[in-house]
Structure 1
Amino acid sequence: EGRHVSELGLDPRTVELLESGRTATDEVHRAGDRLLAVSVRSTVPDGSASGSVMTMRDTTELAALSGRAAVARGRLQLLYEAGVRIGTTLEVVRTAEELAEVAVPRFADFVTVELLEPVLRGEEPPPAEAGAAEMRRTALSGLRPEQPLQPVGDMVRFQVPSTPMARALATGHAVVETELASAEGWRAQDPEGAAQALAYGMHSLLTVPLLARGVVLGMANFWRADTPEPYGEEDLSFAEELAARAAVAIDNARRFTREHAMAVTLQRSLLPRVLPEQNAVEVAYRYLPATAGVGGDWFDVIPLPGARVALVVGDVVGHGLHAAATMGRLRTAVHNFSTLDVPPDELLGHLDELTGRIDEQGAAEAEGGNGRRREEGITGATCLYAIYDPASGVCTMASAGHPGPAVVRPDGRVEFPALAPGLPLGLGLGDAPFEATELRLAEGSKLVLYTDGLLEDHGRDLDTGLGLLGSTLASPDRSPEQTCADVLATLLSPAPRDDIALLVARTRLLDRERIAEWDVARDPSAVSPVRNAAAEKLADWGLEGLAFTAELILSELITNAVRYGADPVRVRLLYDRRLICEVSDGSSTSPHLRHAATTDEGGRGLYLVAQYAERWGTRYGRRGKTIWAELSVGPGGAEPEVPAPDLDALEDLAW
């Protein structure tokens, strides 16, 4: 029509393009509420004459589709990131925090997460109708630290049925509140808090229950304040998908918390609660379960005959209830084997055999169709067993694949004595016996036993850990209790990955004035002089009240050793918490129980020993044996009341 382009009602930017004469391809221009793709081409290809042609294509709908596609891609990317970022730990609270953090700012301006109290404790959540009326606010994340929402730790109650939270719990699906200002139920729940939130700028809310296995664990609430667009129906499916992924991670953390708590309870119930009374060593200890799962570390202090004491540390490989239960079995076995009063290397041999049987039983169960892998029935364990004798100051120890102890001399020097390492328990290698090592410890020395979790925590190698331990221990005049505290302060990380057992024992020596020893000739006439000498020693110790009983016991034990034993025959009295009578000889002949008839002229002597002694038994050495008997010491050295023996039903140990 010959009109100028400025008269066509085009956007000024489009007019400018046509007047410029430049070429354009699909440049986006706005015409009112429409988006146009504009292309301009010269009418003469060689440019020898002026003139151009313009085409315009309406792309408004295509742009809208492209925008929605971009949003969808962003949502998919956010879900992928949520799968990576939520559930990085097995802690319930931290998992809830990760959910709140991942949604800000790309989906929400503020996020709050509430969980049921049982879930926080690791317990099974109750049915929704019984326990979902109130929850504990567990996580809060937002664009700014200051906000009007209830803080973490508050109890959030859903008392008004018409609130978005209550409706979401009732239906099990996400609920959107597009305009909070008109949400009467939400405002009625907490009028003051709602007014503060609206004044702050909160205008839209999307709330979704956290469901795992069809059970409500808590709620996630997504709030918008700075983002002008309110939540809509198209946001519901994304919120449910995000909450579903988080709920699975929270439920996994809850189950781990429950199992961890059960394992800790089992572990602590199997460890000694109160150390036994004994005078050989002054003891302090620490036990710390791993944050990632309880293992099978244990320790023990076991009084032995002859005023001696056994110190034990052990470690079962693995974590969880299986490791804790196995630890309990091994600790019980050590107690039982210690009653045999055998050297440490022999005790570890018995323990190794038992562990092998446990492995065989576990392997059989694993192959019995219960769904566990075979290797879950296999036990790996280490143990260090030491016996300290305060009468001689000698400590005898043996290791089954366990780290050796540290010895702190009275002057502060630290040593790590070389022990034959031995193999871990349960390997069943009968041709590789354990070896015992003897150390002589001065009074006031400290024997430090530990598990490898103390040394190798968080990637620290064994040599570095030993160096830190040695430098920490190198200080004299510290009590065992203070030593434990200093060691943990130096070597312990905030979150240990493995169990830690630490046992510190400061040695004592039995006063030489409280030890009496005699060599006895193998002649019946030698019994009376030794008995008389023992009576005099008891008088020196102020134990006249025990003289008759002690003389009776010594007479029987010495007579049996002279008649049926072998050289050398020795007698020893120890005055510790109890009076200990020991008779040793070079024979290893074992006594056996038999019934003495009323017409028998003998066979009742050791029965009297058993009746009058608090306890008695036999201890075997490398050569020969020792028969010992302990007598309780009453107030002022008096003899405690002992019932008279029944002479009509006497039983004896015959040689």
Structure 2
Amino acid sequence: METKSRRRSDRIVLPVFGLAAEYAIALGLFAGTSLIVAALRFSFPGSETFLFVYVPVIGGTAYVGGRRASLALAFLAVASTGYYRFATAFDLTPGNLLSIGLFALVAVLTALAPARLRDIERKAEKADEHLMLLADASALLGEAFEHETSLKHVAHLTVPRFADWCAAELVEDDATRVVALAHADSAKGSVLEELYRSYPRAPGVPGDARQVVRNRQPELVNEISNSAGEATAQDPQHLSLLGALGTRTILRVPIRHNEEIDGVLAFGRGYSRPRFDSADQMFAEDLGRRCGVAVALGRAYTHQRAIAESLQRNLLPQRLPELPAVAVSARYLPSEGDIGGDWYDVIPLPDGQIALAMGDVAGRGVDAAALMGQLRTALQVLALEGYPPSAILQRLDTLLHQLPLTQMVTLIYMVVSTESMRIRFTNAGHPPPLVVAPDRTTRYLVEGGTVPLGVRMPFIPAEAEVPIPAKSTVVLYSDGLVERRGVGLEHGLAALEGVVRRGPIDPEAVCTRLVQELAAGRSMHDDVALLALQVGVETAAAGPLER
């Protein structure tokens, strides 16, 4: 009769494989009794259950025993409980051999599993980092209008997250120009700059991007040896700089948009980091394509902006008129984004009076500049015909509603009489003009207001006429001078009034001071147009027209 035994000497210590996984399998051969043991770990909330399966080699019957154990005990794999079936001989039957083979195969595969899992985990973490980098780069590329600024942002973003250094070059007339350099080490950053400045066409490290442009394919240099540096260096200083940079591996990818190669992104890593691999190359190529889209859009924007700016400047007065007993000066400052529709005009009228106009077309770009030109021409014709201010603005409103693309326009038009020292004006939604007297007292002309032109409501004629002291200065301006994001308009108007009071009131001095104190040194989100006229002066003078 077979007997069951449970003795301390029968405890079996087995190696455990795969503890880093969600399960563990222990496999061992108890030579004294020819016993194979497999242990499976199952995780439950608050505890772990280890199920030990004892399979005797001889006899063909399996006995199962269960127990709860800590992870440390499982690591030791001490089978201290259970039921055993002992045998005195080792019978190599096909069934027993198959059992041994299956358990051995499970043991080998389980032993290899942690390394494989760690490799998969590393690749997943790397893919996640690449995706986060691409997302961050896409956000940066979408923020700036200027493509060179975007490339600088991307270069600093990828260092040191992806590489020790990065260089961005753009293709220009069959050559390349470096537009961005970044290094994780500021000292080596100076070395990188010196290499690109003194040896821009030298092969080797950091290398020549022309090969990538010619081949239209990425280039991966996995290991840069000392002999390679010596062979490519042009002189001892070049070799010294290459050694100081300490680059181990280089990856270059084209900045590509459709079939156009617009430039090259180069990345380098030193000896403290792993070499670039295929996953890194795929990431860099994807980044190069995104940069290519940004470069193409940036160049298109620059081209369109140049056209709009040229159109707008040609539509503005090329020079200010020289008028008897009148001094006049003007400024125009374009915004950092798209060109707007701000404009001004000074029109000598046939009856000796002077017409002033300041307008702002809603919208940006070429359309706004073209509409501004149409309005300026129409206003000049109507003014020379002698129409009063309210009649001129009413006719311009009618014209706007006849155009294919109706835009809202703010506009102030005034007629200044140098004989009677009076101003007659209509203001269609524009910031109020400021009058400063010789004694520095100021007054905003808030009368004569009506709705902006081009809106979906009937134009309401309005007009005002006010006297002004002799030698007073009238200041017209667009909202870009006084508006600030997050700040009420009243603060900008108070600032303008304060600046005008603090110094000479001749038009040139007023314009210069206003630009310096209210516009210079800040981000220009909107165009600024400025026009100042002083009446009753003894000498005729026209200030410089700065744009």
| 2:338 alignment counterpart | 293
Of 257, 272, 275, 2:302 maps to: 257
Q: Aligned pair in 2 of structure 1 residues 509, 306: CA closer, same or farther (>3 Å)?
A: farther
Distance 1:339 1:201, change over 3 A: same
Match of 1:77 among 132, 138, 147: 132
> Counterpart of 1:459 in 2: which secondary structure?
coil
Aligned to 1:472: 499
Shift of 1:87: 3.1
Distance in 1 between the 2:137 and 2:477 partners?
Answer: 41
Normalised to the residue count of structure 2, the TM-score between the two structures is: 0.74
- Correspondence 1:142 to 2:183: yes
What is the percentage of aligned positions where both structures have the same residue?
A: 29
Cα distance in 1, alignment partners of residues 164 and 204 from structure 2: 26
1:92 paired residue number: 147
After superposition, the Cα gap between the structure-2 partners of 1:427 and 1:232, relative to the gap in structure 1 and judged at 3 Å, is closer
Aligned to 2:212: 168
Query: Once the 2 structures are TM-superposed, how far is the Cα of residue 394 of structure 1 from its aligned partner?
Result: 1.0
Contact 1:109/1:226 (<8 A) preserved: no
The one of 452, 477, 482 aligned to 1:424: 452
The CA deviation at 1:140 is: 1.1
Shift of 1:291: 0.7
Corresponding residue for 1:181?
A: 225
Q: Does the CA-based 8 Å contact 2:247-2:268 persist in structure 1?
A: yes
Which of 60, 73, 76 in structure 2 is aligned with 1:40? 76
CA distance in 2, matches of 1:178, 1:408: 72
Equivalent in the alignment of 1:367: none
Q: 1:142 and 1:510 mapped to 2: Cα distance?
A: 63
2:467 matched to 1:437? no
Q: In 2 relative to 1, CA 76–476 (structure 1 residues): closer, same or farther, beyond 3 Å?
A: closer
1:486 aligns to what? 513
Deviation track 1:338-361 (CA, whole Å, cap 9, x = no partner) reads 110121112212222222222xxx
Q: 460, 463, 466: which is aligned to 2:490?
A: 463
Separation in structure 1 between the aligned mates of residue 132 and residue 395 of structure 2, nearest angstrom: 59
Q: Does 1:243 align with 2:270?
A: no
Q: Distance in 2 between matches of 1:238 and 1:510?
A: 72
Question: Deviation at 1:325?
Answer: 0.6
The 5 A counterparts of 1:621-636 are none
Unaligned runs of 5+ in 2: 1-8, 18-38, 43-72, 83-106, 542-547
Aligned to 1:30: none
| Structure 1 pair 189–507 and aligned structure 2 pair: CA distance change class (3 A) | farther
Give the secondary-structure state (helix, strand or coil) at the position aligned to 1:272: coil
Matching residue within 502, 505, 508 for 2:530: 502
Number of equivalent positions: 449
- Contact 2:195–2:241 at 8 Å: present in 1 too? no
Residue of structure 2 in register with 1:231 after alignment: 276
User: Contact conserved, 2:229 with 2:242, CA < 8 A, in 1?
Assistant: no
**Given the superposition, is the C-alpha separation of residues 452 and 187 from structure 1 closer, same or farther in structure 2, using an over 3 Å criterion?**
farther
Q: Deviations over 1:262-317 (max 9, x none)?
A: 11111111101111121242111111111111111000111112321111101110
Query: What are the equivalent positions in structure 2 for 1:318-467 lying under 5 Å apart?
Result: 318-358=363-403, 362=404, 377-427=405-455, 432-467=459-494
> 2:6 maps to which residue?
none
The corresponding residue for 1:221 is: 266
For 1:153 and 1:415, how far apart are their aligned partners in 2? 59
Q: CA deviation at 1:166?
A: 2.9
Question: Quick one: structure 1 residues 245 and 274, their matched pair in 2 at CA, closer, same or farther if it must change by over 3 Å?
Answer: same
Aligned-partner Cα distance in 2 for 1:152–1:456? 46
Q: 1:3 to 1:228 in 2, by over 3 A?
A: farther
How big is the shift at 1:153?
A: 9.1
Indicate how the Cα distance of structure 1 residues 79 and 5 shifts in structure 2: closer, same or farther if over 3 A, else same. Answer: farther
2-side partners of 1:210 and 1:327: how far apart? 38
Check the 8 A contact 2:390/2:426 in 1, yes or no.
Answer: yes
Helix, strand or coil at the partner of 2:393: helix
Partner in structure 2 of residue 584 of structure 1: none
Deviation string 1:551-605 (CA, Å, 9 cap, x unpaired) is xxxxxxxxxxxxxxxxxxxxxxxxx99xxxxxxxxxxxxxxxxxxxxxxxxxxxx
Preserved CA contact (<8 Å) 2:327 2:537: no
Which residue type is aligned with residue 137 of structure 1? V
Q: Which has the higher contact order (CA 8 A, sep 6+)?
A: 2
Asked if the contact 1:399/1:420 (under 8 Å) is kept, the reply is yes
CA–CA separation in structure 2 for the residues paired with 1:427 and 1:356: 9
In 1, Cα distance between equivalents of 2:194 and 2:485: 34
1:408 and 1:414 in contact (8 A); partners too: yes
Contact 2:449–2:463 at 8 Å: present in 1 too? no
Contact 2:251–2:266 (CA<8 Å) still a contact in 1? yes
Partner of 2:163: 108
Output the CA distance in 2 between the equivalents of 1:72 and 1:3. 50
Q: Please give the alpha-carbon distance, in whole angstroms, between the structure 2 residues aligned to 1:153 and 1:423.
A: 59
Aligned-residue offset at 1:382: 1.5
Q: CA deviation at 1:479?
A: 2.1
Alignment-mate amino acid for residue 76 of structure 1: L
Residues 383 and 396 of structure 1, relative CA distance in 2, 3 Å threshold: same
- SS where residue 391 of structure 1 aligns? coil
In 2, Cα distance between equivalents of 1:181 and 1:416:
75
Q: Secondary structure of 1:173's match?
A: coil
AA of the residue aligned to 1:150: E
Residue 178 of structure 1 aligns with an amino acid whose one-letter code is: N
* TM-score, with structure 1 as normaliser: 0.63
> Does structure 1 residue 277 correspond to structure 2 residue 277?
no
Query: For each residue in 1:18-60, what CA deviation from the matched residue of structure 2 results, as whole angstroms up to 9, or x when unmatched?
Result: xxxxx9989xxxxxxxxxx9733453469xxxxxxxx984422
Which region of structure 1 is more displaced relative to structure 2, 99-108 or 162-171? Answer: 162-171
2:155, 2:166 within 8 Å by CA — same for their partners in 1? yes
Distance 2:251 2:231 in 1: 15
RMSD: 3.4
Cα distance change of structure 1 residues 3 and 352 upon mapping to structure 2, 3 Å threshold:
same
CA distance in 1, matches of 2:143, 2:504: 45
Q: CA deviation at 1:407?
A: 0.8
Question: Equivalent residue of 1:77, what SS?
Answer: helix
The 1-side partners of 2:201 and 2:278 are apart by: 23
Where 1:75 maps in the other structure, the secondary structure is helix
Aligned equivalents of 1:3, 1:453: Cα separation in 2: 91
Report if aligned partners of 1:181, 1:198 keep a CA contact under 8 Å in 2: no
Counterpart amino acid of 2:533?
A: A
In the other structure, the counterpart of 2:93 is none
Paired amino acid for 1:495:
S
Cα distance between partner residues in 2 of 1:43 and 1:410: 105
Hey, what does 1:60 align to over in structure 2? 115
Could you tell me which amino acid in structure 1 is paired with residue 317 of structure 2? P
Instruction: Give the letter aligned to residue 149 of structure 1.
Output: L
Partner of 1:305: 350
Distance in 1 (CA, whole Å) between partners of 2:492 and 2:428 is 20
